[in-house]
Structure 1
């Protein structure tokens, strides 16, 4: 029995492609590839922001892909739910957890699975930097017509808790549609602000930095350049203001 399990693990490690940093950078913005950061929220908060398109902690992975409909996945993560043949890359500091994720997904019928642990960094290859701003930066530009602050939380979250002064609420699930397909007239009608050009400074905020990072990835992919991520989000803003 132990030999059978060991054989399965070894053959799985050979089957699931382990990506180099160069390979990872090449597909990082590919709309046909889903990059899943498997870390817990507290692990992300204590290090860099989300590596990839979506943050789905390992312990919730099976439930997310098994129970979420395509519409629910799109609404929650702002990206289409991948099909069984779609390329999926898993990231975690512990390669063991990435391989566990691949095993879970393979058992559910997914086939095009890859692992990137972030440690096999080819010399001279670096990830594109993400501009992160803090509370002091946001306070300086809130209400400034020359900067657009976009809150990507769901509408009910904003309605129940409030938002940064002068910010516009565009839920993550609507983001790509709003910026890539809406006319300037539609955008202003829906959000009360002129649709910004691709070089206009845009700051993204959410509850605690996870969805705003996903928003950055989406906007980079559709060609926007002057983007900033308020990594502390509403949670940090509210605490700094002394609000409860």
Structure 2
């Protein structure tokens, strides 16, 4: 019995060549990389090569690159709240228990994709009191400690938003700094 071997050959412009198996492909995402899937069989296949090109923006989105992390001072310095949309992705119950970041809009993580992808500007404004952001509008995501806001930032980037930041310390960091 012959076994099939699936290999992925990754070639970068700097003459760097990596051979990895298909399970490791997701960890080998680089800017402007060309990917070729090569299949070896016991007899010649009908189609031997397929090529996929990943551009810089797609690569950044898939690897979470391009998301800026901001700290307490960065969030505090957001003086003109109309020039940025600060989105708290915690659940409403959490906000009632702890408090809210000044001038933030609450869109729970589970509702974020629908809000950014499917709502019209009028629906968004009616639900959240702010205009729906354009794809290049500055977005800052926050949660309790930074985990959900990182996921929200990655989701926004996946949806095509290009000016995305994550308040990595979240409410916990905000509260700690407000007390000091």
The TM-score with structure 1 as length reference comes to 0.49
Q: Deviations for 1:192-244, whole angstroms, at most 9, x for unmatched residues?
A: 1111111110100000000000001111111101000000000000110018x
User: In structure 2, what is the equivalent of residue 201 of structure 1?
Assistant: 138
Deviating beyond 3 angstroms after TM superposition, the runs of 4 or more aligned structure 1 residues are 18-21
Q: Aligned partners of 1:179 and 1:233: how far apart in 2?
A: 21
The TM-score with structure 2 as length reference comes to 0.66
Q: Aligned partners of 2:26 and 2:171: how far apart in 1?
A: 35
Shift of 1:16: 8.5
User: In structure 1, what is the equivalent of residue 24 of structure 2?
Assistant: 18
CA distance 1:161–1:150, shift in 2 (3 Å): same
Report if aligned partners of 2:67, 2:154 keep a CA contact under 8 Å in 1. Answer: no
Q: Which structure has greater helix proportion? A: 1
Q: Aligned partners of 1:180 and 1:199: how far apart in 2?
A: 14
- Equivalenced residues, count: 130
CA distance 1:175–1:25, shift in 2 (3 Å): farther
2:169 to 232, 235, 238: 232
Unaligned runs of 5+ in 1: 1-14, 27-124
Report if aligned partners of 1:142, 1:165 keep a CA contact under 8 Å in 2. Answer: no
Shift of 1:133: 0.4
Q: How does 1:205-220 map to 2 (within 5 A)?
A: 205-220=142-157
Q: Aligned partners of 1:165 and 1:139: how far apart in 2?
A: 9
2:114 to 177, 192, 195: 177
Q: Does 1:221 align with 2:161?
A: no
Larger radius of gyration: 2
Report if aligned partners of 1:142, 1:166 keep a CA contact under 8 Å in 2. Answer: no
CA RMSD between the two structures: 2.3
Q: Does 1:186 align with 2:128?
A: no
Shift of 1:19: 3.6
